[in-house]
Amino acid sequence: MSIKDKIINYNNKMKGNTKLIAVSKTKPIENVQEAYDAGQRLFGENKALEMRDKYLALPKDIRWHFIGHLQTNKIKYIAPFVELIHSVDSLNLLTQINKEAIKNNRVIDCLLQIDIAHEETKFGLDDDSAKELLESEEFSQLKNIRICGLMGIGSITDDKSKTRQEFKHLKELFNCFKEKYFADCDYFSEISMGMSDDFEIAIEEGATYIRIGSSIFGARDYVSKN
């Protein structure tokens, strides 16, 4: 199936609040353009410079979402145009994003990345650290960022009930934070979870963004890239 057909297929599966992010990391401009020509506007990248280069080369109505681990010295490359940063995992990173947002005279929307899988290779805040961040004095001073919800990456596993438990947990934490900290904030409304292998469960458990890469664009070849 072509990229175009896959984009159309996936978008037909979206219902309610769920939106498809096409994760184009490591893939060439032509692939992104093909997805764009099929109507896709939301794209996800996990490297700041790669995202900046694609932003410069491609149509300006693409909405770029950053989904990877973000180094503070790279924020400046994406701050002018990024629509949503899914992967905020520390108060320091948020403070630096706020600084770059001020320089660009804008507000940058962010999600807090929560460590739902507890695998060593994954980033993210544990529940208590996320609470601490949201209750901190420093956080209350950051006027050029908005926390719009939570993001999580499920375990790499064939055990569907484990994955479902992780997504349920993220949704519960979202509800808890909504009530406690964001009751009056309409913008706190997003739950980013689900990838090629587990997006169906994520949709059932209330994902508002799913992030699909390899099953749209094909397997990634990291070896020749690096």
Ligand X SMILES: *Cc1c(COP(=O)(O)O)cnc(C)c1O
Site for ligand X, rule CB under 6 A: 23, 25, 46, 67-68, 153, 195-196, 211-215
Q: How near is the Cβ of 129 to ligand X at its closest, in Å?
A: 19
The residues near 139 (Cβ < 8 Å, ≥ 6 apart) are 91, 94, 133
- Of the candidates 64, 60, 119, 55, the one whose C-alpha atom is nearest the C-alpha of residue 86 is 64
Instruction: State the nearest-atom distance from the C-beta of 217 to ligand X, in Å.
Output: 8
* Residue with smaller CB distance to ligand X, 171 or 211: 211
- Residue closest to ligand X when measured from CB atoms: 213
Q: Which is nearer to ligand X, 11 or 144 (CB)?
A: 11
In the complex, what is the shortest distance from the CB of residue 96 to ligand X, in angstroms, rounded to a whole number? 20
- Looking at residue 85, its amino acid is I
Closest to ligand X by CB, 145 or 207? 207
DSSP the chain: --HHHHHHHHHHH--TT-EEEEE-TT--HHHHHHHHHTT--EEEES-HHHHHHHHHHS-TT-EEEE-S---GGGHHHHTTT-SEEEEE--HHHHHHHHHHHHHTTS-EEEEEEE--S--TT---B-HHHHHHHHH-HHHHT--SEEEEEEEE---S-S-HHHHHHHHHHHHHHHHHHHHHH-TT-TT--EEE---TTTHHHHHHTT-SEEEE-HHHH----HHHH-
**Closest approach of Cβ 211 to ligand X, in Å?**
4
Report the nearest approach of ligand X to the CB of residue 187 (Å).
Answer: 21
For ligand X, the closer of residues 47 and 142 by Cβ is: 47
Nearer to ligand X, 78 or 142 (CB): 78
- Smallest distance from ligand X to CB 87, Å: 7
Q: Quick one: 74 or 142, whose CB is closer to ligand X?
A: 74
